[in-house]
Chain A
Amino acid sequence: MAAGTFAEKGADLELVGITKTFPGFTAIRSLDLFIPAGSFFALLGPSGCGKTTTLRLVAGLEEPTAGRIVIGGKDVTSTKSFQRPVNTVFQSYALFPHMSVLENVAFGLRRRGIASPLEKAHEALRLVELDHLAARRPAQLSGGQQQRVALARAVVNRPALLLLDEPLGALDLKLRRQMQLELKDIQTEVGLTFLHVTHDQEEAMTMADTIAVMNRGEIEQMGAPEELYELPRTAFVANFLGQSNLFTGEVVSSTPDALTVASAGQQLVIPSARAPRRSGTVTVGVRPEKLLLLTAPPAAPSSGVNVLGPGRVIDVSFSGVSTQYTIAVPGIGDVIVFAQNMVFGPVVHVGAEVWVSWNVEHGFGLEDSPAEAAAGVADAASAAGADGDVATSALTTVKA
């Protein structure tokens, strides 16, 4: 890149067959990834899945064991970190303790000989609302303020590719929302490419054009947020990105239109177009908010609707906007239903006998074999447990 000027626009990033092995541990397994120029790309995954390692490889702070890294059409695999048109917002902030906040932000500008670095640094600090603390040392700031300085220090350089490693994790909800909007503004305004790493699925879904869900050093699924949510391909994605009810059973009939699966004596139908596996034992699922709670068996089994039941309500948890019901269906296990609170309070109580139903087109099939599905559910559950985040916890049963 030319010294003394900002990047004109974002650069695309391509990872080809990247593998990173630490002594005795493979953190990244033959990763292929293409991020188009100017897009907001989120890498979502539980902690320890290799997100930071991926960013470090792109930034040039780590050398891949195998594979190539291409930024803006140029192979940078063997390029040193300081020569790459990339800046990083580090998860650990890594603010220089011996410099003022202002000098921290101006550091990259000075190295590249950009005109009036202090002015631009002040401008970047105003953006993160910290200009009044420009003279302080990083140690005199709170964690959230340090994180914003780290953000300003990277963004001020307007790099063709900005790497953000959980850049908003230390901020409270209000400030996080505000920073999300500002980041998005900067990104669209200049057309930079953002690679945003997070374990917060909501943040990924609201900000990114494309999300890649990562688990154990591999990308499980990649796509637009709605696509990933409505049509998860693996049990891990189905439960890490929101929650899902999953049912495992044998395929009993398969037509070009519909796939019928028998699970514990109950027949479930999903559209064939939404089912990658169409024979043998398969896992199918449906999102809890797609389910309808019935207090009496449906009069006549109509086509286009799946019905499970009867089951017994074993838990009701009221959360204002909606209520989460847990229903134990004999032979199937626990089924979760999210219901909008259209009336005052829950409509049924613990112990009530209920049925659940959903439209056939809302169901989806997984690519996972039953064993993979069970492993994926366990991974998502432990990820949710480790994050202490109730909203993403997977309350799912896979019954083989």
Chain B
Amino acid sequence: MADKEYNPKIVGFLCNWCSYAGADLAGSSKLKMPPAISSIRVMCSSRVDPVLIVTAFLRGADGVLVAGCHPGDCHYEKGNYYARRRFALLRKVMETLDLEPERFRLSWISASEGPRFKEVVTEFTEHIKGLGPNPVKEKTSL
């Protein structure tokens, strides 16, 4: 799948209180990062039903990032702890069925961590580039 300029499509579910603000900060600080990510603002990482992630993959996302507040810093106190469990389960399901769980990433990014947001996005984009496009795009019987 090597091509000159493969730009993966990454869907990012960012929590309103931390990671979305972190992304905003990265933007307003004019940090340079790959343009791969389409952000969706959610109120909390625990708002992201695993089904939404499966949906994104089945619709051709090459990668999905969920980002929320660091443990202990959740605006709703414990949303991210529950989210971590849910995504651990989703990963396990994807792993058992060999559905490329490595296209999914969960990271904690605070409102002040603009540089960390840039890092995560850059690193994840590189990683997804290494994996190549989501093979789901070649299927017609979904």
A and B interact physically: no
Q: Which residues of B come within 8 Å of A, CB atoms? A: none
By a beta-carbon cutoff of 8 Å, the part of chain A in contact with chain B is: none
